[in-house]
């Protein structure tokens, strides 16, 4: 029974999560302590065990309340027996593509998983034929899904902006013909932004992800121009100009943290001071032997950093509800269905990346590794077994995830991280798991604080 | 209740009957491009 709940104390709240129902309770100390023994001891034994801390009557009352929750199916609830009947993407729908419109970049960020934009291949730009075909491929493979997503990615997509524009217009044409809706997004380093591009992006992109690393010195140490200069001073004003004209449309300013800035909450707060409200700071994804890689010896510091940031976050959030840190957002009531929760990111199944040549990969992180080439937009999916492997890589099938309390929030972690560290997409990346679990705890404790 | 405050009683199990409609956003596209969190996503079908 103990594997059915997860409890923790954070930000002055005792929180109890009922893993299988998704219910969340904030409880008094007495309940919190009773739960240590509830499944193995009788009420009399518990009264005796806790007699120095709580009087017998209080324990009895709290014990009865626990029983009520159990009867209502929101505590110690069982995993539903139909769980293994969840079918995932049986008809092989593809609903999202990451278009690598430019395998080239005008920055030389040290941690770039794309090897400075060229993904270990030749520098190249996607042409219109490939781009159009990619959108058609998406429409053709999306069955009855209406909402389709296309992210313009690179390298640096602004280096091929004419194509981006053409594809947005072509997408609008396809929408009319096929009763689909495209959500376009773009992920950019901002260097080539000008007024015209900003206006186009603000008009047509449902979301824009702006890459920058927070504090100037942190950014400039990792994100260099081609001539080796820091990029911060050139880029910051452009991103500011973009969000000033963005209205209430979505955006994220997105930083990366490495072993050089384990105090990354300072980077998030620096963004906030500069006027950005929707912030995401992501752990670097890289091979473990890089100097800037996050290693097990860093875990403790990172987890403490998330906790201390969650305290600042609560304070800011009380004054400014628009402040958002991507990993502290959680939706306990309107969140996704269980099918989504067990199947995760969809890489290699409903989500794929397209290279300038039109080759398909399970996701942007796998591009460039020939073993993971799954097909081509002209010839379709060629490696069905690879797609099946990715479809099978979900929380219901991964050993670690099966018994992990966070499985319905995390949904199984990032395959690329798993592959980079363990050469196996079925074996989650341990550091990633530790971070993810801490972020979920932070997010729930934030909510518990803000609800009052 | 005197000692317990339930902040979310939502029962995920109910959603199993509906299955996934698949209209929601792909998690990695939203903000991060490097991680997979679904707990913070919105359902498009309620
Ligand atoms: S935190 Fe790790 S073990 Fe837990 S569900 Fe996520 S990937 Fe699986
Ligand atoms: S494998 Fe990782 S990087 Fe790729 S889509 Fe999934 S979460 Fe994102």
The answer, yes or no, to whether residue B46 has pLDDT greater than 60, is no
Please indicate whether residue B39 or residue A175 has the higher confidence score (pLDDT): A175
Q: State whether the beta carbon of A357 lies less than 6 angstroms from ligand 1.
A: no
Asked if B12's CB is within 8 angstroms of A20's CB, the reply is: yes
Q: Which of B16, B31, B45 sits opposite A82 (nearest CB)?
A: B16
A439 Cα to the center of ligand 1, angstroms: 12
Nearest CA to ligand 2 atom 3: B34
pLDDT at A1: 78
Contact A226, A106 (CB under 8 A): yes
Over residues A370-424, the pLDDT tens digits come to 999 999 999 999 999 999 999 999 888 999 999 999 999 888 899 998 998 999 9
Contact A212, A219 (CB under 8 A): yes
- For tokens 């050089």, name the residue: A260
Confidence of residue B17 (pLDDT cuts 50, 70, 90): low
Could you report the predicted ipTM of this complex, rounded to two decimals? 0.87
Q: Given CB atoms, is A257 within the 8 Å cutoff of chain B?
A: no
Distance from CA of B16 to the nearest CA of A (A): 6
Confidence of residue B34 (pLDDT cuts 50, 70, 90): low
Q: Which residue of chain B has the CA closest to A329?
A: B40
- What is the rounded distance in angstroms from the CA atom of residue A211 to the CA atom of residue A239? 9
pLDDT at B40: 65
Cis-peptide into A155, omega within 30 deg: yes
Pairing type for strands A96-100 and A252-257 reads unpaired
Q: Which of A146, A207, A341 sits opposite B38 (nearest CB)?
A: A341
Helix axis angle for A415-422 and A430-450, nearest 10°, is 140
The 8 Å CB, 24+ separation contacts for A380-384 are A380/A137, A381/A92
Contact A285, A257 (CB under 8 A): no
Q: What is the number of the ligand closest to the CA of A437?
A: 1
Half-sphere exposure of A134 (CA within 13 A, CB side): 33
The answer, yes or no, to whether residue B37 has pLDDT greater than 70, is no
Which residues of chain A have a pLDDT value below 50?
none
Cβ-Cβ contacts under 8 Å, B16 against chain A: 80, 82-83, 86, 337-339
What phi and psi values does residue A25 have, to the nearest 5 degrees? -125, 140
Q: How far is CA A425 from CA A46, A97, A415, A416, A420, in A?
A: 44, 20, 5, 7, 9
Pairing type for strands A147-153 and A96-100 reads parallel
Task: Cite the DSSP H helix spans in B1-46.
Answer: 15-18, 27-30
pLDDT at A50: 98
Sequence-separated (6 or more) residues with CB below 8 Å from residue A210: A188, A189, A190, A239, A242, A251, A252, A253, A254
pLDDT at A242: 98
The answer, yes or no, to whether residue B36 has pLDDT greater than 70, is no
Structure tokens given for A19: 């893993």
User: Can you give the three-state secondary structure of A80-136, one letter per residue?
Assistant: CCCHHHCCCCCCCCCCEEEEECEECCCECCCCCCCCCCCCCCCCEECCHHHHHHHHH
Structure tokens given for A96: 């999202």
Query: Which atom of ligand 1 is least distant from the CA of A413?
Result: 7
Chain B interface with A: residues with Cβ < 8 Å: 1-13, 15-16, 18-46
Q: Given CB atoms, is A87 within the 8 Å cutoff of chain B?
A: yes
Nearest CA to ligand 1 atom 8: A401
Over residues A296-328, the pLDDT tens digits come to 999 999 999 999 999 999 999 999 999 999 999
Q: Given CB atoms, is A440 within the 8 Å cutoff of chain B?
A: yes
Whether the full predicted model's pTM is greater than 0.80, yes or no, is: yes
Asked if A335's CB is within 8 angstroms of B43's CB, the reply is: yes
Sheet with A147-153, side-by-side order of all strands: A324-325, A278-283, A252-257, A207-211, A181-188, A147-153, A96-100, A351-354, A359-361, A375-376, A380-381
pLDDT at B22: 79
């Amino acid at each position: 029974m103990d594997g059915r709940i997860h409890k923790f104390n954070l930000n002055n709240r005792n929180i109890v999560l009922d893993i299988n129902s998704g219910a969340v309770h904030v409880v008094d100390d007495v309940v919190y302590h009773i739960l240590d023994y509830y499944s193995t001891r009788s009420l009399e034994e518990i009264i005796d065990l806790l007699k120095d801390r709580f009087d017998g009557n209080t324990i009895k009352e709290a014990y009865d309340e626990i029983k009520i929750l159990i009867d209502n199916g929101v505590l110690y609830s069982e995993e539903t027996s139909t769980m293994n009947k969840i079918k995932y993407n049986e008809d092989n729908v593809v609903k999202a593509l990451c278009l690598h419109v430019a395998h080239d970049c005008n920055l030389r960020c040290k941690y770039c998983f794309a090897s400075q934009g060229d993904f270990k291949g030749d520098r190249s730009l996607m042409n219109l034929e490939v781009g159009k075909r990619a959108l058609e491929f998406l429409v053709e493979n999306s069955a009855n899904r209406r909402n389709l997503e296309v992210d313009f990615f690179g390298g640096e997509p602004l280096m091929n902006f004419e194509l981006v524009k053409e594809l947005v217009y072509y997408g609008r044409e396809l929408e009319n013909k096929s009763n689909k809706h495209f959500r376009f997004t773009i992920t950019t380093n901002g260097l080539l932004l000008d007024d015209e591009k900003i206006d186009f992006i603000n008009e047509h992109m449902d979301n824009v992800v702006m890459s920058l690393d927070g504090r100037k010195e942190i950014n400039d140490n990792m994100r260099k121009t081609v001539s080796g200069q820091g990029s911060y001073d050139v880029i910051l004003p452009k991103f500011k100009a973009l969000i000033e004209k963005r209205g209430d449309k979505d955006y994220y300013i997105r930083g990366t943290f490495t072993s050089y800035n384990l105090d990354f909450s300072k980077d998030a707060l620096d963004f906030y001071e500069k006027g950005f409200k929707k912030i995401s700071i992501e752990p670097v994804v890289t091979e473990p032997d890089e100097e800037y890689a996050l290693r097990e010896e860093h875990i403790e510091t990172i987890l403490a950093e998330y906790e201390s940031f969650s305290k600042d976050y609560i304070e800011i959030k009380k004054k400014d509800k628009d402040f958002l840190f991507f990993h502290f957002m959680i939706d306990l009531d309107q969140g996704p269905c269980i099918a989504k929760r067990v199947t995760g990111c969809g890489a290699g199944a409903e989500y794929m990346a397209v290279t300038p040549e039109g080759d398909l990969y399970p996701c942007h992180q796998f591009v460039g590794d020939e073993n993971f080439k799954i097909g081509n937009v002209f010839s379709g999916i060629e490696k069905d077994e690879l797609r099946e492997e990715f479809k099978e890589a979900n929380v219901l099938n991964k050993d670690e995830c099966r018994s992990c309390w966070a499985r319905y929030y995390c949904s199984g972690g990032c395959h690329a991280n798993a592959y980079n560290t363990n050469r196996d997409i079925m074996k989650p990346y341990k550091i990633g798991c530790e971070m993810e679990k801490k972020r979920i705890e932070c997010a729930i404790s934030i909510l518990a604080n803000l609800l009052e | 209740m005197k000692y317990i405050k339930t902040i979310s009683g939502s029962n995920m199990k109910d959603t199993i009957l509906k299955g996934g409609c698949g209209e929601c956003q792909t998690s990695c596209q939203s903000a991060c491009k490097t991680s997979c969190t679904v707990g913070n996503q919105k359902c498009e079908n309620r």
